[in-house]
Amino acid sequence: LPIATRLTERLGIAHPVLLAPMGGVAGGRLAAAVSNAGGLGLIGGGYGDRSWLEAELRAAGNARIGCGFITWSLNERPELLDLVLDHKPAAIFLSFDDPARYARRVADAGALLICQVQSRRDAQAALDCGAGMLVAQGGEAGGHSGQRATMPLVPEIADLLAARAPDTLLCAAGGIADGRGLAAALVLGADGVVIGSRFWASEEALVPPGLQSAAMTASGDATLKTRSTDIVRHRYWPERFQIRVLRNAFTDRWHGREDALQQALDTEAPSFQAAMAAGDATHASPIVGEAVGLLRSVEPAAAILERIVAEAEGLLTSAARHVQPA
Ligand SMILES: Cc1cc2nc3c(=O)[nH]c(=O)nc-3n(C[C@H](O)[C@H](O)[C@H](O)COP(=O)(O)O)c2cc1C
């Protein structure tokens, strides 16, 4: 049986799965592939680069997609929101700062405002500005996240919504990469999931193949949260958010020695950038979460989505049989 939730009904999509708006990684082709397969694809606007965004919005063609931004970075280029809203996106996904100043513009454009939150306090701020969907993001996630874990954060936010804003939708993010994760998220009280790392390892993702290959053999034990990867890229994140990446020679050398890294940027920044471009996973960091231990092959996004959904359907159907009274 297909999984129908308030999310699939409200968005008019077949499956309760959203592509995480991974900055620079989730381009138009990946977003369109996820939407065309029955989920909702979100372009990763990331730190906000106008010409990249224009090209990726074009690459999405006629697919119904949304777009995400790193909110504190959007604050420096707020006009980029209008560029995206002109394309009539289904949703705008904001994360990592107070979304209040953008809520009205998103609503006036007829797009769903999705706010990714890392704590109960963030959730309250998102509700105060009228978000239509919250994404409870645990620190297992690939990329930046806060301190909470997905397993207890999702039901806590589900309870908050039930009490305060029962019409607001809820998705879970962080550590979900297969049907078990999707089924678990629904049981925890979410209406759907936001998936990043699993789609990072898709054919359509804008990731150098060398970085993807390195992730295929890694365990979830091999990730860490660090500031070193931001410092070397000149990204100045608020203290409470750190980035989860795969450990490698770069993080072994610089994690915990960020002050020394700061002094060595003249040489370290260009060499990190070159390694990134070359897909050299020893010196550039694959940005993935703990779910990396569940990734074993790079596949088309549609195949990934279909398998996750079929597996969750099977699990939920057999769980329902188990709990039926005799
Ligand atoms: C490569 C990568 C880049 C990301 N970039 C962003 C971003 O620009 N904005 C954002 O809100 N979240 C970003 N995220 C976090 C995702 O929105 C999401 O919370 C996360 O991927 C979910 O956990 P998972 O990776 O275990 O699926 C990124 C995640 C990854 C893996």
First to last CA, the chain: 22
pLDDT tens for each residue of 258-304: 999 999 999 999 999 999 999 999 999 999 999 999 999 999 999 99
CA 323 / ligand 1 centre spacing (Å): 35
Asked if residue 194 has its Cβ within 6 Å of ligand 1, the reply is yes
Q: Which atom from ligand 1 is nearest to the alpha carbon of 47?
A: 8
CA 92 / ligand 1 centre spacing (Å): 15
CA 21 / ligand 1 centre spacing (Å): 6
Average pLDDT, integer, range 221-230: 98
CA 142 / ligand 1 centre spacing (Å): 5
Q: Which atom from ligand 1 is nearest to the alpha carbon of 137?
A: 19
Which of 17, 18, 22 to mutate to test ligand 1, by most ligand atoms within 8 A of the CB atom? 22
Where helices occur in the chain by DSSP H, the ranges are 6-11, 28-36, 50-59, 71-74, 79-85, 100-108, 120-128, 150-164, 179-187, 197-200, 209-216, 228-231, 249-254, 258-263, 265-278, 301-323
At 139, is the pLDDT very low, low, confident or very high (cuts 50, 70, 90)? very high
Average pLDDT, integer, range 245-257: 98
Dihedral sign for Cα atoms in the order 169, 198, 33, 309: negative
Asked if residue 175 has its Cβ within 6 Å of ligand 1, the reply is yes
* Predicted local distance difference test score (pLDDT) of residue 325: 66
Name the pairing type of β-strands 242-246 and 223-226. Answer: antiparallel
pLDDT tens for each residue of 53-95: 999 999 999 999 999 999 999 999 999 999 999 999 999 999 9
